[in-house]
Amino acid sequence: MTVTSTESSHSLLYGLVNGSITQLPDDEAIAANKNLAQQLQSRLQDFWLLNSPDGLWGAKSARALATYKHFQNITEPGIGSHTAASLLNTEPTNLIPGFQLNGDWPSRTVMWMSLHNQHISTNGNNGEINIVYFRGLDCNGQWNGNQPFVWNDRRCVLVIKNQVPSFVGNWLATCDPGEYYWEHPMNDKGCADIKAWQFQAWSVGHHKDQLALIQTGDITVLRGEQRVPDTNNNFYVDQHTTDNPDGDRPDEPVKGWSAGCMVGASSNEHYNEFMPLVKVDPREKDAPGKYQHWTTVINGNEFLDVFPL
């Protein structure tokens, strides 16, 4: 590959490919070449990994490059001909093999899960789903401040059809306790917040009289103000709902609806939209009430820090 124009917005990346520019072995070397750093940032922005290229190569830029290399399985240090060629020749839609991405919220969810080597169910054409909760994001995927004890999280169902990610469900929820149970914990170790991670730990059953996903496997929660980790399969951290058909508005109090459970605000949405998607998953149909559904919990501020809008 040769440089066709020194005015090209990626001319220095082409130079790395054809050898007119030598490999930059580390972040310090990249930071010392501001023009190349800005071209590199601009290309990483095309992959939804950075915003506002400025030529100032710091920790976020270094992380974005490392993330790109992770997706493309590149082990070359710094940036040389291999990385530059990949950046120039890879279409953003093909950033992660096996997926067709467009940078929207569902695509960036796949990027997050792939970056963290988490399980992604890809047979959406046959009804397989991925349950994902986002702390502190609104219905458009924007950060809402994540104030405690109020409805400000999202319960989403991600599906992959023909390699394209989309949300078939996006509902107001909480995955944290309300104020009552924070002040009056049911466990002597303190009230539980589920750790932001992925667990295969819920089966179709009943939370009291509600059709719900009930905890049947190990999860990790963080207890009390000290956030002490606690792992077990009997915390009764279920995925249930309220008795309010329409649900509360965002930022209204959760009250006693959650002692650490993941709760959908609207019972209509829970019964008529969320649970039907769970029950038609072919793995659930093959083992009703026994299949353990994967669920991913993501802290919204961390998500947007890595994959900005």
Tell whether 201 and 259 lie within a shared domain: yes
**Among the three residues 58, 90, 122, which one is the final residue of a domain in this structure?**
90
Tell whether 169 and 76 lie within a shared domain: no
Task: Assign 176 a pLDDT band (cuts: 50, 70, 90).
Answer: very high
Tracing tokens 């009289």 back to the chain, one arrives at 209
Tell whether 44 and 185 lie within a shared domain: no
Report whether pLDDT(301) > 80. yes
Is 111 within the bounds of a domain? yes
Is 4 within the bounds of a domain? no
Under 8 Å between Cβ of 253 and 185:
no
Task: Assign 9 a pLDDT band (cuts: 50, 70, 90).
Answer: confident
pLDDT of residue 1: 36
pLDDT of residue 202: 98
Report whether pLDDT(8) > 90. no
Of 169, 112, 119, residue with least CA distance to 300: 112
Tell whether 85 and 150 lie within a shared domain: no
> What digits encode the pLDDT tens for the residues 18-73?
999 999 999 999 999 999 999 999 999 999 999 989 999 999 999 999 999 999 99
Instruction: Summarize the confidence of residues 257-284 as an average pLDDT.
Output: 98
**Among the three residues 59, 90, 121, which one is the final residue of a domain in this structure?**
90
Task: Assign 90 a pLDDT band (cuts: 50, 70, 90).
Answer: very high
Tell whether 121 and 248 lie within a shared domain: yes
Instruction: Summarize the confidence of residues 111-133 as an average pLDDT.
Output: 98
Q: Which two tokens stand for residue 250?
A: 């965002």
Of 90, 93, 91, 87, residue with least CA distance to 17: 87
Q: Give residue 162's domain range.
A: 105-306
Tell whether 199 and 131 lie within a shared domain: yes
Rounded CA separation 144/254 (Å) = 16
Is 237 within the bounds of a domain? yes
> What digits encode the pLDDT tens for the residues 210-222?
999 999 999 999 9
Of 166, 164, 140, residue with least CA distance to 154: 140
Q: Which residues pair with 169 in a beta bridge?
A: 157
Is 253 within the bounds of a domain? yes
What's the whole-number average pLDDT of the chain? 96
Please count the structural domains in the chain. 2
Tell whether 60 and 182 lie within a shared domain: no
Rounded CA separation 211/241 (Å) = 9
Tell whether 71 and 160 lie within a shared domain: no
- Looking at per-residue pLDDT, the higher value among 8 and 278 belongs to 278
**Among the three residues 24, 58, 90, which one is the final residue of a domain in this structure?**
90
pLDDT of residue 283: 98
Tell whether 45 and 145 lie within a shared domain: no
Is 42 within the bounds of a domain? yes
> What digits encode the pLDDT tens for the residues 223-268?
999 999 999 999 999 999 999 999 999 999 999 999 999 999 999 9
pLDDT of residue 80: 96
Tell whether 234 and 273 lie within a shared domain: yes
Is 100 within the bounds of a domain? no
Tell whether 50 and 121 lie within a shared domain: no
DSSP per residue, the chain: ---S-TTSTTHHHHHHHHTSS--B-SHHHHHT-HHHHHHHHHHHHHTTS-SS--S---HHHHHHHHHHHHHHT---SSB-HHHHHHHHH--GGGSSTT----SSHHHHHHHHHHHTT------GGGT--EEEEEETB-TTS-B----TTBS-EEEEEEEEETTEEEEEEEEEEESS--HHHHHS-SSTT--EEE-SSEEEEEEEEEETTEEEEEE-S-EEEEETTTTEEEEES-S---EEE-S-SS-PPTTSB-GGG-SS-EEES-HHHIIIIIHHHHHHSHHHHHSTTTS-EEEEEEEHHHHHHHS--
Is 6 within the bounds of a domain? no
Sign of the dihedral defined by the CA atoms of residues 97, 13, 105, 213, in that order: positive
pLDDT of residue 28: 97
Tell whether 158 and 300 lie within a shared domain: yes
Q: Which residues pair with 262 in a beta bridge?
A: 239
Q: Which two tokens stand for residue 282?
A: 């072919």
Is 36 within the bounds of a domain? yes
Report whether pLDDT(2) > 80. no
pLDDT of residue 289: 98
